[in-house]
């Protein structure tokens, strides 16, 4: 079972078990990680599940799709490692993934 570490805006690290096939957003919500709003429920239509993928993992997660790239325009403080966590699919190879949550989703 892959584990994902979330770094919340106040610097707290929380490592949780993730289920293959879930999204990183679903993993956060299921584990009560604060700071991911996910207003659209994972439909790639709100950009309130914005996270920063740790640089060492940036090239190992699935690629940014066209819809995600468009929606990222609506996120706050977008950086090269910005992703919408509902579009990051959990697979075994992502065991150890680290993502940081921005200060605000709005
Ligand atoms: Fe809305 Fe990810 S949950 S875009």
Q: Write out pLDDT tens, residues 22-64.
A: 999 999 999 999 999 999 999 999 999 999 999 999 999 999 9
**Would you state the pLDDT for residue 5?**
98
Q: What's the rounded Cα separation, in Å, for the pair 29 and 50?
A: 13
- Asked whether 30 and 52 are in contact (CB, 8 A), the reply is no
Angle at 73 between CA 13 and CA 28, to 5 degrees: 25
| Backbone φ and ψ of 69, nearest 5° | -60, -40
Measured from the CA of 41, which atom of ligand 1 is nearest?
A: 3
Measuring from each residue's beta carbon to the nearest atom of ligand 1, which residues come in under 6 Å? 25, 38-40, 42-49, 71, 84, 86
In this prediction the pTM is: 0.96
Measured from the CA of 43, which atom of ligand 1 is nearest?
A: 1
Q: Under CATH, which number does the domain 3-100 receive?
A: 3.10.20.30
Neighbours of 37 (CB within 10 A): 16
Q: Mean of the pLDDT values across residues 68-93?
A: 96
């Amino acid at each position: 079972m892959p584990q994902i570490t979330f770094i919340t805006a106040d610097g707290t690290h929380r490592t949780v078990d993730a289920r293959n096939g879930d999204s990183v957003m679903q993993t956060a919500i299921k584990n009560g990680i604060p700071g991911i709003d996910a207003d659209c429920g994972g439909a790639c239509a709100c950009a309130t599940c914005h996270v920063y993928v740790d640089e060492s993992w940036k090239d190992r997660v699935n690629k940014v799709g066209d819809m995600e790239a468009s929606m990222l325009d609506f996120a706050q403080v977008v950086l090269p490692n910005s992703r919408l966590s509902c579009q990051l699919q959990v697979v075994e190879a992502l065991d150890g993934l680290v993502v940081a949550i921005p200060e605000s989703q709005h």
